[in-house]
Amino acid sequence: MNYIFYFLIVFSIIIGAINGKLQDVVNAVMSGAELSVKVAFSLIGIMAFWLGIMRIAEKSGLIEWIAKLLRPITKVLFNELPPDSPAVGDIAMNFTANAFGLANAATPFGIRAMENMQGVNKDKKTASNSMCLFLGMNTAGFQLIPTTVLAVLIGIGYKNPTEIIAPTLLVTSIAFISAIVMAKFAQWISNKKEVKNE
């Protein structure tokens, strides 16, 4: 990615110089840099707010309560894991944090879930079905509230930033369900091949 961005910047400067628009390129770079600082500061504010809300929810037991609600679903999806596996709780907590657009808060739960799943994984050199499913679901990034996108839209002065919520919910829901279906389908094919080989 670094090479691509470097190429785009150098290419823009060269084309700007050839067309006599170098001043416009410089102005665009300066205004872009100024906007990026504004967006970064607005992100700090909104992320601090939502991480604070998340911390309050965690301390009050709300996150744990939501995780308990999600546990039956996670037990069905991750049926390879032992019923008392701590990974089930971590998975539920991870998805709760991700649903509120708090990827930073979700990361520690995700790492812990992967570590716990690796602990019960029979083949330590290969990811288990549960690990692949979790990774797919996590990558799909289901979000009820796209906190980071809202912060960016607010930072650039967008008039109605909340209009992104419904499309984001629709797209991330489709991606999330697709990830589950594809992972379960791949698992089914893998299990059939194993049965054949036996």
To which H or E segment does residue 43 belong? helix 22-60
To which H or E segment does residue 93 belong? helix 86-99
DSSP-assigned states of every residue in 116-132: HHHHT-S-TTS--HHHH
pLDDT at residue 178 in the model: 92
pLDDT at residue 196 in the model: 66
Q: What is the maximum alpha-carbon separation in the chain?
A: 71
> 39 is written with which tokens?
């967006």
pLDDT at residue 198 in the model: 58
Q: Do residues 90 and 38 make contact, with C-beta atoms less than 8 angstroms apart?
A: no
pTM of the complete model beyond 0.85? no
Please state, in angstroms and rounded to a whole number, the distance separating the CA atoms of residues 141 and 76: 20
Dihedrals phi, psi of 139, to nearest 5 degrees: -65, -35
Q: Per-residue confidence of the chain (198 residues) as pLDDT tens digits?
A: 678 878 888 887 888 788 888 788 788 878 877 777 777 776 777 667 767 776 787 788 776 787 678 778 877 888 888 877 778 878 888 887 788 777 777 788 888 889 988 888 888 888 888 888 898 888 887 887 777 777 777 777 778 888 888 888 899 889 989 999 998 898 888 777 766 665
Task: Please report, for the chain, the start and end positions of each structural domain, with discontinuous segments joined by +.
Answer: 2-197
pLDDT at residue 63 in the model: 67
